[in-house]
Structure 1
Amino acid sequence: MIQARRIISILWRTLALSTLAVFAYYLAFQLRFAGNIPSTTKDVLRGSILCAALAKAVAIVWFRQHQGWSRYVSFHDVAALAKAVTCASIGLTLCDAFLLGNLNIPRSVLLLDWGITLIALAAVRAVPRILRDRLWNPLAKPVGIRAIIVGATDSGELLLRAIQRNTQLGYQPVGFVDDRQRHHGRRIAGVPVLGRLDDLGLHVNRTGAKEVLITAGELPGTRVRQLVEDADRLGFRVKVLPSYDQLLAEQVSVQPRPVVIADLLGRPFVELDDSDTRGWLTGKTLMVTGSSGSIGSEICRQLLKLNPEKLLVLDRSETGQFFLERELRRLDPNASIEVVMADINDGERLRAVFERYRPEIVFHAAAYKHVPLMESHAGEGVKNITLATRRLADLADEFSAEGFVMISTDKAVNPTSVMGSCKRLAEQYVQAKATASETRFVTVRFGNVLDSAGSVVPIFREQIARGGPVTVTDENMVRYFMMIPEAAQLVIQAGAMGQGGEIFVLDMGEPVHIVDLARDMIRLSGLRVDEDIELQITGLRPGEKLYEELYGEEEQHTATRHPKIMVAESNPRTILELIYDLSRLEEVANGPNEECAAILGEIIPLMQKPAAAKRLAA
């Protein structure tokens, strides 16, 4: 029923706009001949009007001018409308030359028709919104919280219109700030552009503004951080509203929210390249290991959008799987989702899964991730990270899977820990496996994802909620961060690009000082560092590094066609070498921690030995 209504609505709008466009064509003749059209020219009008109607209807639909009537009309909308009208005029000219027996439509009529059609269709888009704003909010008295909007752009103007329409938001916009001098002194819908963002404190004092409004993704993270610091110092609040695209499409309600830590990263949203991923994944049986984890679950969500034949979600966490299945079935009730309870250390169980479901693409996200914990459980790290990866890769090869994508970490680069060394061995095995298999084996390496379970952000959040202290291991520690959806999308994109044997490395942006992250989170909670919440430096834990790297000393990095995906190139080890090394580790994985860590350190020479190996050496 809803689909039928939508189709009827599209047909009605297309018909209405096409009728208006045809009337504009008729009016162009009337204007050209001052209301007295010669009889021979009337024949031209009658002979060409059907072709004009068809050309304009096709252009309206092709450029989607039948959509978005209720939204604010931006410059981009007018540009798209101009393209549609121009294409319709070109189509009509071609019809005249090749299909209508050369009726010779006057060129002046075509020019007038172009202008009248553009004005008429633009008016149809703009006038209803203007009337609605005036009728629903006539002469509204400026009341509410005095606010300054950052950015005299299409985004800022759209935000202003949304605020003016939604009086229940309780805002009174008093000005814009924008660093582009040419905009200073202008007015947008009656609201002045006050000056530069760097002079925000001055403008806040002059206008009495209590809040500063930004749209999500509009400013780089460094500018958002500066805004938050200014707000803390000068006593105003910073609020974030939906992004330009969301406001334009009216996808979300216009509700302000406080700045969150993700805003300070300022990483632009990344869209999947459907031409690669859909051709690779749509209609196939896909399997995700570690499906209940932060990255694994997001990969599942993204894969669901690509319409797989079947999605296998494999994890050993009963609770995690329960909630993941509920979410995925809510997202797509018609999808074929198979929850697989399995431990990646259980070879017989994994073989049964491959025999039953025959997954065509495997995304391997399951792994331990806590560095200090693995230092005292080296054998478990070896089994869960390295040997389980070998087991899954061998099964993917044996059962002729098309692709195998392993999730790796920057801790595998020049590793100083058990966990990093295990990951590096897993990378090497997957890379070597690609040299003698029809399966496309690739690895995707990246740094930390923001707000994943057990990571620094939720730990800081819990410490702040407790009243402190917030603990940081070292003032100089830096880490790379990206958003979970971005990481998952780029993993899928890289997997689709891979030919086999690549170690893809994601662009992580600029590294973040962990102590700055802690200060930001305290500040965003409305508290002051060392006054309300103590910040403690506790010292490095076993296996931790001050900074992470994305490329090893022996690796060269080259670009791909995707700006955020690189390839780390190095000479792969042979599969026979790795089989021997992994067999050595397998023999000691259930033995003393020190012995396993020491052998691991021999296989992957560590820049500084993990604590367990140090104790053995002593």
Structure 2
Amino acid sequence: MKSENSASRNHGVETHAPTGAIRKLKKRAVLHPTFIIRNWQDLVRLLFTGMALAIAFSIAFAVRFDWTLDAEQMQHLLASLPLVVVVQTVILACSGVHLASLRGVSFQDLGRLVWATSLGSAVTWCVAVNAGVFVPRSVWLVDWVFAIILLGGIRAVAREAIEQWHKHLATEKSRTLVVGTCPTSEAIVRTLRATSQSRCEIIGMVARTEDSHLVGHYAGPVRVLGSVDDLHSLIVSHSIDEVLLVSGSLGGKQIRAIEQICNEAIVAVRVIPVLDTLIDGNVAIQPRALAIEDLLKRESVQIDLNAISCFIGGSTIVVTGAAGSIGSEICRQLVALNATRLVILDRNESGLFWLERELRRLGSDATVIPCIGDITDSRRMDAILAEYRPHILFHAAAYKHVPLMEDHPGEAIKNISLASARLAELASEYGVKTFVMVSTDKAVNPTSVMGTCKRFAEMFVQAIDASSTTMFLTVRFGNVLDSAGSVVPVFREQILRGGPITVTHPEIERFFMTIPEASRLVIQAAAMGHGGEVFVLDMGEPVKIVELAQDMIRLSGLEQGRDIEIDFTGLRPGEKLFEELFTANERLFDTAHSKIQSAETVAVDLDHLRWSLDQLELAAHDTPDAIRSLLRHLLKDCQASQDVKALSVSASAAGPKVPELVATEVDQLPRLRLFTPALTDTTGDPPRSETFVRISSERPQVA
């Protein structure tokens, strides 16, 4: 009964197990009439296909007999022609050759046509032999060649006719250059030329500087007229109205230079999204306006997949701050890299909810476990580490807004310094293999509460490494582009409101990196670490914030001074004009990755840091002014301790002899106060006595 129903559903076609070429035909067309002919256009295409096959077979017969057919040969032709046309048309129809769009003829379409024609000729020959129809053997070969030529030629002519018709219908089209050479450039140009809705008349292509050898060649239907270096002269000589950039094929500096050339020539610039595949030529390409991300685009980051796979393979990984900009992207990258078990930790329940859904939607085999918790809650962190026993911990949770932390220094201490230190100690206690702390360039020579708290966290993570089996690493980088609350979305919101755009100082500069780039490099650095390192990411050249604002105004189609203003509000408390990526005491070393350096420095004594953090915890609920003063004092204290330790290491390396100080200079040297844990009483009050150390005013170089 089940087989009868099946047969009835298949319109009476027997469902024997197909083999060889017939299996391919059934897999593609399922021998279903409604698949072969979906609409009247398909019927017309099939009729033209049959006509072309009839002409090809007739020509083959004529060629075989030197274009002179007697009555007997004509009889053989007329007897075999219906069989050839019907069988070959059915084979071609079942292969779906007629379903391909005429606008997007490609080598794949040609290959499918050759395969289907070959199969059709073979099947027709078998049928003719079995039916006793006489056809000379040479006719089959000549017929195969002419069938391919005619069928391919009809499609090519039809495509050209469609393009010319659309070109004729268009009343106004902008003369356009396409800049950027990549594997999909040719397909993009073909689609733009074949789309009636496109208002672009593609005049030619412009190669990247590194692809200048392509100049003079043809990329599909258009010629490569020159390289980016020739862009201005090409715009003038060809009366260009618009320049389209192929997204992903150009770097930020090149895009900025191209935009400047186009602005000088009063030519519009837009971006074409990269297409990996054009499906039947029906994919609509919608060029978009230039975005700030295009101007700041950096070279794509290459990572060592083998090293990372070995690093994360089979591991349980915890990511704190998982719902944040960097934390969520680290999670996405880990899932893409086939992490086994991922514990996503954050106190933002909504963010965690959506992140979990997104990670599961990525289709990875990773087990994703959402955990709601606050990193300042030590008992909750203890419970999570005890339950999941992670091998790797990425610590990305922290407050990040400098002005807010200036007003709430106690919260910064609890959320950044104390939480990081306690999480590090818990990681050591539970035997976490690798602990990676995400840090910031604001921790270098900090002038803000946020930067100072991060610096304490950095020092603690580095100090605890020496006494733990856990490998503790720090990864330090600058601003990430378009993260929540960063300068780009703030400027975007101010532009939408009509301005003004507020910039604190005309000379202020910042390093920028995209979120995916930073996250990949954090994971790469973690895989490279051996413990105790402070990795510094290559941030490229700093960007002036006022220039960033001007770029965003221009990309919005506005003009500064006429449509929108830029107001300078003055530096905010704790804000610096220029950020730094490493301190004077740190020596940078290259690593195996070109975009990652290692900053080597002498670690602060761990007990000394623990005492400092105890003092900060006791003062966390004092007045903001008192907390800020204590932070500055304790940081200088730790830095002095670090300097003395560095001097000791340097002296030990040089030998037992210590340089003597000149007696007349002793009283003029700075007095650096060093607190020792032994001098602290059990109540946690400040030490009852102080040790004063006098050092040379010329800071020794750390070896």
Give TM class, smaller chain.
Answer: 0.7 to 0.9
Asked if structure 2 preserves the Cα contact closer than 8 Å seen for 1:217 and 1:267, the reply is no
Deviation at 1:595, TM superposition (A): 1.9
CA distance in 1, matches of 2:276, 2:580: 34
What's the counterpart of residue 163 of structure 1?
Answer: 192
1:388 aligned residue = 419
Instruction: Return closer, same or farther for 1:182/1:273 CA change in 2, 3 Å cut-off.
Output: closer
d(CA) in 1 for partners of 2:267, 2:350? 43
1:605 to 621, 636, 640: 636
Which residue does the alignment assign to 1:294?
325
Counterpart CA distance in 2 for 1:146 and 1:580 is 70
Q: Aligned residue for 1:347?
A: 378
Larger gyration radius, structure 1 or structure 2: 2
Which residue in the other structure is 2:482 paired with? 451
Answer yes or no: is the 8 Å Cα contact 1:221–1:264 preserved in 2.
yes
Letter in 2 for 1:147: T
Pair 1:167–1:387, CA change in 2 (3 A): same
2:349 aligns to what? 318
Q: In the alignment, what sits opposite 1:176?
A: 205
CA distance in 1 between counterparts of 2:359 and 2:278 reads 27
Q: For residue 614 of structure 1, what is the aligned residue in structure 2?
A: none
Q: From 257, 261, 278, give the equivalent of 2:309.
A: 278
1:438 corresponds to: 469
State the secondary structure of the residue aligned to 1:442.
strand
- For this pair of structures, how many residues does the alignment match? 489
Instruction: State how 1:215-294 maps to structure 2 within 5 Å.
Output: 215-243=246-274, 254-294=285-325
Q: Displacement, 1:211?
A: 1.9
The answer on whether the counterparts of 1:150 and 1:156 sit within 8 Å (CA) in structure 2 is no
1:554 matched to 2:585? yes
Q: 1:182 to 1:429 in 2, by over 3 A?
A: closer
Matching residue within 175, 181, 189 for 1:146: 175
1:411 maps to a residue whose letter is K
Residue equivalent to 1:116: none
Name the residue aligned to 2:701.
none
Question: Does 2:511 match 1:488?
Answer: no
Q: Residue by residue, what CA displacement relative to the aligned partner does 1:245-286 show, whole Å, maximum 9, x if unpaired? A: 7789x9x97442221111111312224322111111122211
Contact 1:152 1:193 in 2 (8 A): no
**In structure 1, how many angstroms separate the alpha carbons of the residues matched to 2:636 and 2:247?**
44
Task: Report matched runs for 1:397-408 at 5 Å.
Answer: 397-408=428-439
Give the Cα–Cα distance (whole angstroms) in 2 for the partners of residues 401 and 446 of structure 1: 24
Q: Residue 595 of structure 2 aligns with which residue? A: 564
CA positional deviation for 1:319: 2.0
Measured after TM superposition, the shift of residue 224 of structure 1 is 1.5
CA contact (8 A) 1:406 1:442 kept: yes
Find the aligned partners of 1:510 and 1:164 in 2 and give their Cα distance: 39
Q: Is the 8 A contact 1:152 1:183 kept in 2?
A: no
Q: Distance in 1 between matches of 2:628 and 2:383?
A: 32
1:187 Cα offset (Å): 4.8
**Matches of 2:480 and 2:269, distance apart in 1:** 25
For 2:178 and 2:437, locate their aligned partners in 1 and report how far apart those are by CA, in whole Å. 44
Q: Deviations over 1:527-571 (max 9, x none)?
A: 111111111111100000001111111111111111111101111
Which letter does structure 1 place at the counterpart of 2:201?
A: Q
Task: State the distance in 1 between where 2:182 and 2:427 align.
Answer: 51
Q: Partner residue of 2:445?
A: 414
Q: Which amino acid is the alignment partner of residue 501 of structure 2?
A: V
**Following TM superposition, by how much is the alpha carbon of 1:332 offset from its aligned partner in structure 2, in angstroms?**
2.9
Give the AA of the match of 1:574.
D
Does the CA contact (< 8 Å) of 1:282 and 1:309 recur in 2? yes
Report the equivalent of 1:539: 570
Q: 1:133 to 1:297 in 2, by over 3 A?
A: farther
Structure 2 partner of 1:210 = 241
- CA 1:435/1:129 → structure 2, altered by over 3 Å: closer, same or farther? farther
- Supply the AA of the counterpart residue of 2:519: A
* Cα distance change of structure 1 residues 465 and 439 upon mapping to structure 2, 3 Å threshold: same
Residue 523 (str. 1) matches residue 523 (str. 2): no
Q: What residue identity is the alignment partner of 1:140? A: E
1:21-100 matched pairs, under 5 angstroms = none
CA contact (8 A) 2:340 2:365 kept: no
Q: CA deviation at 1:228?
A: 2.7
Q: 2:401 aligns to what?
A: 370
Q: Secondary structure at the match of 2:431?
A: coil
Matched with 1:588 is: 619
Contact 1:481 1:508 in 2 (8 A): yes
CA 1:136 to 1:493, structure 2 compared with 1: closer, same or farther past 3 Å?
A: same
Amino acid at match of 2:175: R
Deviates more, 1:278-287 or 1:182-191: 182-191
Distance 1:413 1:214, change over 3 A: same
Task: Provide the alpha-carbon RMSD of the alignment.
Answer: 3.1
Partner of 1:94: none
Structure possessing the higher relative contact order (Cα contacts under 8 Å, 6 or more residues apart):
1
Give yes or no for contact 2:495–2:501 (8 Å, CA) kept in 1: yes
Q: Is the alpha carbon distance of 1:401 and 1:228 closer, same or farther for their aligned partners in structure 2, counting shifts above 3 Å? A: same
The amino acid across from 1:314 in the alignment is L
Q: 2:356 aligned with 1:331, yes or no? A: no
1:194-225 CA-to-partner distances (Å, cap 9, x unmatched) read: 44545545533443433211122333323322
C-alpha contact 2:162 2:194 (8 A) present in aligned 1: no
2:478 and 2:539 in contact (8 A); partners too: yes
| Offset, 1:579 | 1.0
Q: In the aligned structure 1, how far is the partner of 2:610 from the partner of 2:284?
A: 56
Change over 3 Å in CA distance of 1:151–1:361 after alignment to 2: closer
Letter in 2 for 1:222: K
**1:479 maps to which residue?**
510
Residues 45-74 of structure 1: CA distance to partner in whole angstroms, max 9, x if unpaired? Answer: xxxxxxxxxxxxxxxxxxxxxxxxx99789
Please, which moves more after superposition, 461-470 or 352-361? 352-361
CA distance in 2, matches of 1:190, 1:313: 50
- Seen in structure 2, the aligned counterparts of structure 1 residues 322 and 153 have a Cα distance that, compared at 3 Å, is closer
Q: Which residue of 1 aligns with 2:334?
A: 303
Tell me, in whole angstroms, the C-alpha distance in 1 between the residues paired with 2:382 and 2:154: 66
Task: Please list the CA deviations of residues 157-201 of structure 1 after superposition, one character each: whole Å capped at 9, or x if unmatched.
Answer: 454345346565443211233557766555544534444545545
Letter in 1 for 2:402: V
**Which whole-Å CA distance do the structure 1 matches of 2:442 and 2:621 have between them?**
24
Amino acid at match of 2:291: V
Question: 1:425 maps to which residue?
Answer: 456
Q: Classify the secondary structure of the residue corresponding to 1:407.
A: strand
Query: What is the alpha-carbon distance in structure 1 between the residues aligned to residue 381 and residue 373 of structure 2?
Result: 7
SS in 1 for 2:616: helix
